[in-house]
Amino acid sequence: MVEHDSHTLDTIFHALGDATRRAMLGELASGERTVSELAEPFAMSLAAASKHIKVLENAGMVRRDIRGRTHVCSLDPVPLMSADQWIGMYRRFWTDRLDTLERLLRAADATALPPKKPLPPEDKGE
Amino acid sequence: MVEHDSHTLDTIFHALGDATRRAMLGELASGERTVSELAEPFAMSLAAASKHIKVLENAGMVRRDIRGRTHVCSLDPVPLMSADQWIGMYRRFWTDRLDTLERLLRAADATALPPKKPLPPEDKGE
């Protein structure tokens, strides 16, 4: 498994490793937000929120558009696609695991249940 | 987009945010490795490599099995599945982006190329 741009992946995964930053991405998934709007739900100073936004910008996941005095942020999904591609190399490991689990459960079911008997014929003598 | 276990995702993404740790996971994708085998390709002390392995263990991606004096590490893909599920919430953003790009390229092709003409009939007079 070859890694082409490890610095970028470092930056992307580092940016994702914080619940506040992931929540900010979640907000931006609904549409553009000003810096103040992005900061508002969090119990932190505007300066602290701005640092988080900066980390997301450095990782390329947030774009900032300056309109007059307002800084408007939007989501750029391309770095998330890179992260997805990296994780995707391991997908077979958990699908294999889930397949094995499914086979074990089926085998357990087959052993635990009594063999199916045909239903007795209905009593038609009443 | 609701996040159920943000501490776990913090730990997982933090662990992935380092090229050495990702390379160690890549090694373990090929099979079990002792701690020394995992450390060997990296220009760092065994202590430094052990710290990286510990971060991967804390994130649940590496299991350590102690066999006599040997510590054998193996890959646990379940946390990667969690990371994949989180990123998956954003998949539509980059597929939308790629769809738009494809439409633009097709539109550009349609404008740039001359309309297809039927081929002239073959000369059968020879």
The pLDDT of residue A85 is 94
- Quick one: pLDDT band at residue B4, thresholds 50, 70, 90? low
* A86 and B CB contact within 8 Å: yes
Per-block mean pLDDT, blocks of 10 residues, chain A (126 long): 70 97 96 94 92 96 94 95 95 84 84 67 56
The per-residue pLDDT for range B34-77, each reduced to its tens digit, is: 999 999 999 999 999 999 999 999 999 999 999 999 999 999 99
The pLDDT of residue B119 is 64
Taking the model in full, what pTM does it have? 0.79
DSSP B124: -
Residue in chain A nearest B27 by alpha carbon: A1
pLDDT surpassing 70 at residue B120: no
Please give the mean pLDDT across all residues of chain B: 87
Question: Mutation test of the interface with chain B: which of A10, A13, A20, A25, choosing the one with the most B Cβ atoms within 10 A?
Answer: A13
Tokens standing for A86?
């990296």
Single-letter residue type at B114: P
- Quick one: pLDDT band at residue B123, thresholds 50, 70, 90? low
Residue B88 host element (H or E): helix B78-88
B31: left (phi > 0), else alpha (psi -120 to 50), else beta? Answer: left
Provide the chain A residues 6-65 that lie in CB contact (below 8 A) with chain B: 6-7, 9-14, 16-19, 22-23, 25-26, 29
- Torsion over CA: A48, A50, A54, A55 (sign): positive
Please give the mean pLDDT across all residues of chain A: 87
The pLDDT of residue B126 is 45
* A88 and B CB contact within 8 Å: yes
pLDDT surpassing 90 at residue B7: no
Closest approach of A41 to chain B, Cα-based (Å):
14
The average pLDDT across B10-37 equals 96
A52: left (phi > 0), else alpha (psi -120 to 50), else beta? Answer: alpha
